[in-house]
């Protein structure tokens, strides 16, 4: 998802192999004080996959490879994957469960028209019928192609940019509706830069050989797609499209700039927006976007919109028509006849990510159904695969982490009392959502036909667009979820001030019934802590407990926070997983703070759960050691080089190796548990270790 509330706070998680589903046996009290642990059964085991270790690497030198080196050595990335790890296995388990649900619906002979079963089954069937898709060719897009061909003036170009929002095809900028970051009780419209076919502005300007090759391949892809689409003079059109995108990219804000919540909050009405971007007809745009009633909106990148009128005026009309035609074809290519699918994968899968093969058709079909009927599927997934006791136990751990976080805030030696009071008030107002929403989305207005894949997806886009724009002027829906229950992930929303854990993540390895609490706290405990910590990372700290963007810090405390966060930026800037490319410490700062603070809080919660008792030694490992082993093993992952390159430019998360070693090197508890010494690879001098929360 690329709306701010959804992109900024996702943490990808991992799965331990060979564990049974379900959560029974977790050694946590469900009544009384949430910080008191029940007596753990003596037979609880290590919960760590020793066969994945590389004993030739000392834990004091490289903890990630000590715990995961054996797995890295013996594991091949599947041909249809750009990266592979324990998280992927868990995601594939969820995918297989969804396939069974979808296939049952597709196999149901008497699907009642308009029923959930009919919609699920017929949407999947429409995707899987490749012969019929091939026969129809481009005919499902004919009306859209005609609309573009009929553009005759630059005023038409601006109106089409508005129409493209309703069709959810790419234009130079995006329109969306979200909570007002400075008044979280209301919805407001947002405008944000877009328009690029390559993953990021840097792809257009990086002069290294590989990025130059990618640009060449991209122009060839655009030409080929236009050729398949019947475009006249596709070679010249492809060059023109690349020129438009390069011009747009030159005015794009960087991903680091886009993380700044203060800089990206710029409220305008039509009058002030017209002063910012003179000559751009905002009324025509908004009317074409079917939101003519909008009076105010947030412009996220003012300098980009300031440059927009010149981009529109100086680009020839025929080039705009070629640009929009390409965006239309590219948007629908994965759902068109096979020659479009193959060429689209060849560039976006093979060239950009290094993936060798496209995913099997059934997996892409499952994804298509999820994309259009996500919560409809989610209800069935929850019925079959989510245990009610999971939610109760998760709530207990959330409160454990909340209590420990509160104690930690009180104990901060660098923070003044006024700021501590505000931080505690925010922590108290955190809302947690676990498993699935209380109320499911309504899909009754969506028509699905077995013989109309493109039409089905178009109607789905229209329904979701209207669902979004209908929020304007209505009370904020505090029950809304931005992920489906079957999503293996978690997130924090600053405007909601909430942490959310979908059902699919609430299973082993996070509640490992065969392991003692140390590994569980090193896994799900750290995830909970991570999401809490996003409310106090370099951007999350800018919002208060009501979700409003305001500065509640004393000047001295704000400067101290920035100083400590800056040291973490410097550490991560030094990590170089690919020759000539480093981790971007500023881009990844929020996630790195989330990891460091989250694991720190999880450790403290684990120690407190022991109730003053000493943890048992299991298979020669102390409780503290098992805690850190649990953290390291969930991050095992391999990347194809192109995928890693892409992530270094675009991903706010650090590569998994550094989510392990980079965090642990800053934790005194890790150094004590494994007795690191100066000269060890993991050793970091005490004065160089970063502590924020």
Residue closest to 448 by CA, chosen among 106, 123, 115, 109: 123
Q: At what angle do helices 361-385 and 453-469 cross, to 10 degrees?
A: 50
* 520 pLDDT higher than 60: yes
Give the length of the chain.
693
H or E element that contains 464:
helix 453-469
- DSSP letters along 125-156, please? HHHH-HHHHHHHTTGGGHHHHHHHHT--SHHH
- DSSP letters along 173-199, please? EEEEEEEETTEEEEEEEEEEE---SSS
Question: How do residues 338-357 score in pLDDT, each as one tens digit?
Answer: 999 999 999 999 999 999 99
H or E element that contains 322:
helix 317-332
Query: What value does the mean pLDDT take over residues 9-15?
Result: 26
**Cα gap 88→363, rounded to integer Å:** 14
* 512 pLDDT higher than 80: no
Query: What value does the mean pLDDT take over residues 259-264?
Result: 98
Structural Rg of the chain based on CA atoms: 26
Please report which confidence band the pLDDT of residue 46 belongs to, taking 50, 70 and 90 as the band edges. Answer: confident
Question: How do residues 527-569 score in pLDDT, each as one tens digit?
Answer: 999 999 999 999 999 999 999 999 999 999 999 999 999 999 9
pLDDT at 11: 27
Question: How do residues 158-188 score in pLDDT, each as one tens digit?
Answer: 999 999 999 999 999 999 999 999 999 999 9
pLDDT at 45: 77
Instruction: Give the alpha-carbon dihedral of 287, 292, 295, 296, to 10 degrees.
Output: -60
pLDDT higher at 509 or 522: 522
Query: What value does the mean pLDDT take over residues 464-473?
Result: 98
Please list, residue by residue across 524-563, b when 16 or more beta carbons sit within 10 angstroms of its beta carbon and e when fewer do: bbbbbbbbbbbbbbbbbbbbbbebbbeebbeeebeebbee
Q: Pairing state of beta strands 267-269 and 296-299? A: antiparallel
pLDDT at 12: 27
Query: What value does the mean pLDDT take over residues 462-478?
Result: 98
* 231 pLDDT higher than 60: yes
**Cα gap 9→638, rounded to integer Å:** 22
Query: What value does the mean pLDDT take over residues 242-270?
Result: 98
* 38 pLDDT higher than 80: no
Cα dist from 112 to 118, 379, 380, 447, 455, whole Å: 6, 19, 17, 13, 20
DSSP 23: -
Percent of the chain at pLDDT exceeding 90 = 88
Please report which confidence band the pLDDT of residue 15 belongs to, taking 50, 70 and 90 as the band edges. Answer: very low
Q: Are 90 and 490 in contact (CB under 8 A)?
A: no
**Cα gap 568→689, rounded to integer Å:** 9
- What stretches of 227-313 adopt beta strand conformation (E)? 267-269, 296-299
Whether the pTM exceeds 0.75: the reply is yes
- DSSP letters along 208-243, please? SHHHHHHHHHHHHHHHHHHHHTT-SSHHHHHHHHHH
Of 22-31, 338-347, 369-378, 610-619, where does mean pLDDT reach its minimum?
22-31
pLDDT higher at 367 or 25: 367
Residue closest to 655 by CA, chosen among 600, 585, 603: 585
* 111 pLDDT higher than 60: yes
Count other Cβ atoms within 10 Å, centred on residue 337.
17
**Cα gap 576→583, rounded to integer Å:** 6
Query: What value does the mean pLDDT take over residues 491-520?
Result: 87
Question: How do residues 273-329 score in pLDDT, each as one tens digit?
Answer: 999 999 999 999 999 999 999 999 999 999 999 999 999 999 999 999 999 999 999
Question: How do residues 636-666 score in pLDDT, each as one tens digit?
Answer: 999 999 999 999 999 999 999 999 999 999 9
* 8 pLDDT higher than 70: no
H or E element that contains 95:
helix 86-107
* 360 pLDDT higher than 80: yes
pLDDT at 176: 98
pLDDT at 571: 98
Residue closest to 603 by CA, chosen among 393, 432, 410, 405: 405
Please report which confidence band the pLDDT of residue 513 belongs to, taking 50, 70 and 90 as the band edges. Answer: low
Query: What value does the mean pLDDT take over residues 381-395?
Result: 89
């Amino acid at each position: 998802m690329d709306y701010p509330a959804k992109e900024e706070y996702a943490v990808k998680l991992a799965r331990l192999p060979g564990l049974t589903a379900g959560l029974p046996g977790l050694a946590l009290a469900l009544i009384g004080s949430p910080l008191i642990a029940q007596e753990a059964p003596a037979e609880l085991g290590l919960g760590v996959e020793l066969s994945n270790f590389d004993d030739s690497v000392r834990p004091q030198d490289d903890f990630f490879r000590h715990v995961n080196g054996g797995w890295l050595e013996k594991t091949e990335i599947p041909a249809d994957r750009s990266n592979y790890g324990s998280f992927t296995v868990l995601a594939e388990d969820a995918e297989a469960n969804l396939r069974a649900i979808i296939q049952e619906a597709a196999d149901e002979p008497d699907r009642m028209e308009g029923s959930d079963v009919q919609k699920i089954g017929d949407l999947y069937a429409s995707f899987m019928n490749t012969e019929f898709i091939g026969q129809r060719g481009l005919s499902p897009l004919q009306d859209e192609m005609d609309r573009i061909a009929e553009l005759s003036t630059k005023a038409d170009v601006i109106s089409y940019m508005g129409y493209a929002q309703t069709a959810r095809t790419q234009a130079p900028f995006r329109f969306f509706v979200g909570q007002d970051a400075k008044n979280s009780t209301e919805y407001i419209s947002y405008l944000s830069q877009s328009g690029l076919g390559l993953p990021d502005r840097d792809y257009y300007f990086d002069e290294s050989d590989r990025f130059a090759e990618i640009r060449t391949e991209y122009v060839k892809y655009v030409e080929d797609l236009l050729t398949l689409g019947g475009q006249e003079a596709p070679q010249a059109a492809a060059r023109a499209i690349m020129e438009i995108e390069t011009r747009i990219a030159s005015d794009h804000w960087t991903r680091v700039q886009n993380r700044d919540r203060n800089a990206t909050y710029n409220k305008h009405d039509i009058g002030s927006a017209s002063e910012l971007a003179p000559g751009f007809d905002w009324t025509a745009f908004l009317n074409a976007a079917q939101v003519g009633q909008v009076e105010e909106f947030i412009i996220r990148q003012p300098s980009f919109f300031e440059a927009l009128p010149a981009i529109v005026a100086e680009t020839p009309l025929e080039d705009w028509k070629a640009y929009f035609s390409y965006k239309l074809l590219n948007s629908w290519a994965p759902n068109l006849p096979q020659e479009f699918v193959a060429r689209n994968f060849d560039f976006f899968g093979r060239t950009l990510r290094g993936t060798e093969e496209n995913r099997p058709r059934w997996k892409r079909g499952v994804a298509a159904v999820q994309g259009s009927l996500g919560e409809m599927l989610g209800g069935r997934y929850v019925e079959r695969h989510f245990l009610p006791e999971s939610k109760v136990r998760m709530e207990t751990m959330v409160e454990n982490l909340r209590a420990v976080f509160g104690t930690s805030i009180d104990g901060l030696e660098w923070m003044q009392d006024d700021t501590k009071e505000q931080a505690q008030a925010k922590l108290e107002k955190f809302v947690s959502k676990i498993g699935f929403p209380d109320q499911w989305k309504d899909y009754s207005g969506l028509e699905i036909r077995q013989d109309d894949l493109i039409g089905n997806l178009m109607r789905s886009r229209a329904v979701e667009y209207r669902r979004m724009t209908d929020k304007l002027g209505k009370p904020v829906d505090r029950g809304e979820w931005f992920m489906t229950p079957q999503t293996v992930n978690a997130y924090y929303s600053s405007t909601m001030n909430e942490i959310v854990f979908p059902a699919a993540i609430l299973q082993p390895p996070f509640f490992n019934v065969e392991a003692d609490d140390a590994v569980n706290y090193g896994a799900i405990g750290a995830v909970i802590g991570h999401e809490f910590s996003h409310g106090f990372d370099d951007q999350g700290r800018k919002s208060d407990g009501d979700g409003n963007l305001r500065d509640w810090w004393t000047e001295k405390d704000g400067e101290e926070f920035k100083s400590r966060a800056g040291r973490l930026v410097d550490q991560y800037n030094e990590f170089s997983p690919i020759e000539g490319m480093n981790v971007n410490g500023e881009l990844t700062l929020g996630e790195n703070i989330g990891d460091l603070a989250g694991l720190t809080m999880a450790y403290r919660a684990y120690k407190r759960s022991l109730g003053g008792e000493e943890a048992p030694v299991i298979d020669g490992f102390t409780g503290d050691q098992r805690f850190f082993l649990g953290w390291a093993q969930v991050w095992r992952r391999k990347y194809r080089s192109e995928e890693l390159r892409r992530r270094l430019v675009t991903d706010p998360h650090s590569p998994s190796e550094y989510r392990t070693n980079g965090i642990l090197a800053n934790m005194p508890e890790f150094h004590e548990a494994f007795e690191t010494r100066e000269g060890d690879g993991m050793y970091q001098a005490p004065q160089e270790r970063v502590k924020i929360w």
